[in-house]
């Protein structure tokens, strides 16, 4: 990464808090956190926006939208980070996530699969979206508020993933996810980037 990121030993204030959150949750500072620490106010605004969409849709649907968008974009950082978060939250197990990396979404519920498809379409061809896309979500029982928040969740992942891709941040080994699973998710993302 060509930008200089704040060193953990020199971090103070909001940057120190961001790093501490990673250390407490995962035991290390993620490269994407370091990149966002260059502008901690923007990071805080992003986190605040995420917190406004999760209550109406819940963690499972948020993670489905996030994973669908990250897979469509080809973001290794977000596939690995949210793959791990999805497993930790009980959204999907390792076998289901490995299948997801191979475009098999059968480990997810029908509603979650619809959200994944919606997030992928938003991430690849938003100009081609029509009422039929939201009608599919409505057919799974999502309310207007939930449809808006699913859209925002996928859009937020586009913002974050595309920013990380543009900054060419390094992808560190994540000790909290099996190396074979991380490799499958990385391969999926790199395949989309080709």
For the beta carbon of residue 34, count every other beta carbon within 10 angstroms: 24
Alpha helices in the chain (DSSP H): 13-26, 31-36, 40-73, 76-88, 94-101, 110-124, 131-139, 144-167, 179-193
| CA-based nearest residue to 103, from 20, 6, 176, 189 | 189
Structural domains in the chain plus CATH codes: 56-193 (1.20.1290.10)
Q: Which residues contact 180 (CB under 8 A, 6 or more apart)?
A: 98
Whole-number Å distance between alpha carbons of 26 and 93: 18
Per-residue pLDDT in tens (0 to 9) along the chain, 194 residues: 688 999 999 999 999 999 999 999 888 898 889 999 999 999 999 999 999 999 999 999 999 999 999 999 999 889 998 999 999 999 999 999 999 999 999 999 999 999 999 999 999 999 999 999 999 999 999 999 999 999 999 999 999 999 988 998 787 777 778 888 888 888 887 775 43
Q: How many residues does the chain have?
A: 194
Q: What is the pLDDT of residue 193?
A: 43
Q: What is the pLDDT of residue 182?
A: 84
């Amino acid at each position: 990464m060509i930008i200089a990121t704040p060193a953990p030993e020199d971090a103070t204030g909001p940057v120190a808090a961001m790093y501490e959150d990673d250390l407490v949750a995962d035991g290390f500072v993620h490269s994407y956190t370091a990149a966002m620490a260059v502008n901690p106010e923007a990071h805080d605004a992003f986190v605040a926006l995420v917190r406004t969409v999760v209550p109406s849709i819940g963690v499972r649907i948020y993670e489905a939208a996030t994973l669908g968008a990250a897979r469509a974009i080809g973001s290794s950082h977000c596939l690995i980070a949210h793959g791990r978060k999805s497993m930790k939250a009980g959204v999907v197990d390792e076998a289901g996530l490995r299948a997801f990396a191979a475009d098999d979404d059968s480990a997810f519920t029908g509603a979650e699969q619809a959200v994944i498809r919606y997030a992928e379409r938003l991430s690849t061809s938003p100009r081609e979206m029509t009422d039929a896309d939201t009608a599919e979500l409505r057919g799974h029982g999502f309310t207007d508020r939930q449809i808006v928040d699913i859209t925002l969740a996928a859009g937020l992942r586009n913002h974050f993933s595309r920013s990380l891709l543009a900054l060419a941040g390094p992808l560190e080994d994540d000790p909290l996810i099996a190396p074979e699973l991380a490799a499958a998710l990385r391969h999926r993302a790199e395949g989309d980037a080709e």
